[in-house]
Amino acid sequence: MLRWANYPATRFFYRRALYLGKSAYKKLCCIAAKYSQRLSNQEPAHGVNEIDPISDLLTVHKAKISMTKSLTSLWLKNLRRVGKAQQAQGRQLFKSLLTTAARAPQVKMTKPANVAKAVRPATLKIVKALKPVKPPVVKTAKPRRRAAAVPAQPAVALLPALPGSWKKAFFSLPGTGLAPARRMMYWLYLPSGVANAPLPLVVMLHGCKQTATDFAASTRMNQLAERKGFAVLYPQQSAAADANRCWHWYRRATQQGHGDVALIAEMIKQVRARHQLDTKRTYAAGLSAGAGLATILALRHPQLIAAAGLHSAPVYGTSDSPISGFQAMQQGAGVHHRDAVSEFSDSKLHFPGMPVMLIQGKSDSVVRRVNVDNLSAQFSIVDAPWITSAQPVVRSYAGRSSGRSPRHAYKTTTYYAGRKPMLVKCEIDGLGHAWSGGEGSLDYSAPEGPDATLLLWTFFSGQQRQQSVPVVM
């Protein structure tokens, strides 16, 4: 008896069956066994049955058709299995989304049982239809309004009702030549009562992301002006000029006295003339970018400004772009800060000197402490002809954490011109980039003392515009 696997045709069927699948393999084994059995029968020529090749070919063809059907059905079964798995995953994902929406905070479901029944059939229909359908609308109750951590009221509401005059106005500067016309808004506070003499004027320049009313509320300068009897002018940077309302202290044109500096200088002249304010006692103060502009205003218009108060101010004159300005705020000016003020030490200019108070928080990460050291060195050069003390007077003040007026510890370093302080550097422990002793509910304002507003006015009140000129050696 011959082995059926030795024939080429049966070997082909055997390999094909192994490739196509188990069911087709069994059928081909039966066909190949029958075929090999017929070949192995050695009956005489006049036997009853002879091998019919046509019927064998038909049998093989039927086997091929059967194998194709078996493979097709196997492929479809696998495809259905994969499709069901994908549908199950999609159903779970859709349910998780509905569950997340139902678990949203501060939302109460009106009828959770009915909602669950309405969601489930809709989910099955979406999965079967494989079409995007909007999730069912869930009726929710209005959430209770929680108290905000930050006061919702604007800074204007924090301004107390004072008996003095608090008005908004606009100042316009006509264009000259190619320079366009300029317009700037400002707020002016005038204390109540009849003054026997012209009132002093303090010009307050706000920082970035602040308005004039924000700065007035955070510094409480109006309250002090009402008690002490002086006027306060708050120029406001336009949002059209700068999206964050920053003064452009870092531009070369501004440092040369153009732009906002020229506009504010003319504004001061108009306000003083209109309200008959004291021309010898006009002071400039500011925070951060406003302090940077106050530095330029004081140095470029010394006949207009009697003294300057700079809180968290950047170094002067060492930047020419926003990037270099940010670099100066973080790293200072190195050795170039002395060159920036060399022109003011020229005896031919007859610079009258500029009394200045510098206030800096030791924990300030926006305008680093190195800036106050650079500014102190710059003004020691500018005011060198008037400083009479060879060594500064250093005073330390302890902090207090309790009581009605808590404050940080701080230290002052003072250079005198005779008996008047000419250059004062005040360094405050634990203070960040904020106005010291201000309104704590507003940004860039720290409630802990010392009170920078009172410190500045105490310094300003002893200063008047000096007309003397240093002797040229």
Quick one: pLDDT band at residue 121, thresholds 50, 70, 90? Answer: very low
Task: Give the residue with greater pLDDT, 83 vs 184.
Answer: 184
Task: Give the residue with greater pLDDT, 127 vs 40.
Answer: 40
Task: Give the residue with greater pLDDT, 95 vs 212.
Answer: 212
Residue 197 has pLDDT above 80, yes or no: yes
Q: Which of 446, 451, 443 is nearest to 431 (CA)?
A: 446
Give the DSSP letter of residue 242: -
Tokens of 465: 């515009």
pLDDT at site 371:
97
Give the DSSP letter of residue 227: H
Strand pairing report for 410-417 and 420-428: antiparallel
pLDDT at site 152:
43
Residue 231 has pLDDT above 50, yes or no: yes
Beta-bridged to residue 188, according to DSSP, are 167, 233
- The stretch 41-65 carries a mean pLDDT of 56
Residue 430 has pLDDT above 50, yes or no: yes
- The stretch 222-227 carries a mean pLDDT of 97
The structural architecture, per CATH, of the domain 162-397+407-460 is 3-Layer(aba) Sandwich (3.40)
- The stretch 408-413 carries a mean pLDDT of 98
Beta-bridged to residue 97, according to DSSP, are none
72-81 pLDDT per residue, tens? 777 788 778 8
- Length in residues, the chain: 473
pLDDT at site 399:
95
Q: Which of 290, 203, 294, 180 is nearest to 242 (CA)?
A: 290
- The stretch 457-464 carries a mean pLDDT of 96
pTM more than 0.85? no
pLDDT at site 64:
64
- The stretch 198-217 carries a mean pLDDT of 97
pLDDT at site 113:
45
Residue 419 has pLDDT above 80, yes or no: yes
Q: Which of 446, 442, 424 is nearest to 433 (CA)?
A: 446
Residue 246 has pLDDT above 90, yes or no: yes
Residue 335 has pLDDT above 80, yes or no: no
346-386 pLDDT per residue, tens? 766 688 999 999 999 999 999 999 999 999 999 999 999 99
Quick one: pLDDT band at residue 32, thresholds 50, 70, 90? Answer: low
Q: Which amino acid does the sequence have at 387?
A: I
Handedness of CA 147, 151, 156, 159 (dihedral sign): positive
Q: Which helix (H) or strand (E) holds 424?
A: strand 420-428
143-161 pLDDT per residue, tens? 454 444 444 456 777 888 8
Distances (CA, A) of 106 to 95, 98, 147, 183: 21, 16, 13, 47
Query: Are 204 and 232 contacting, i.e. CB atoms less than 8 angstroms apart?
Result: yes
pLDDT at site 127:
39
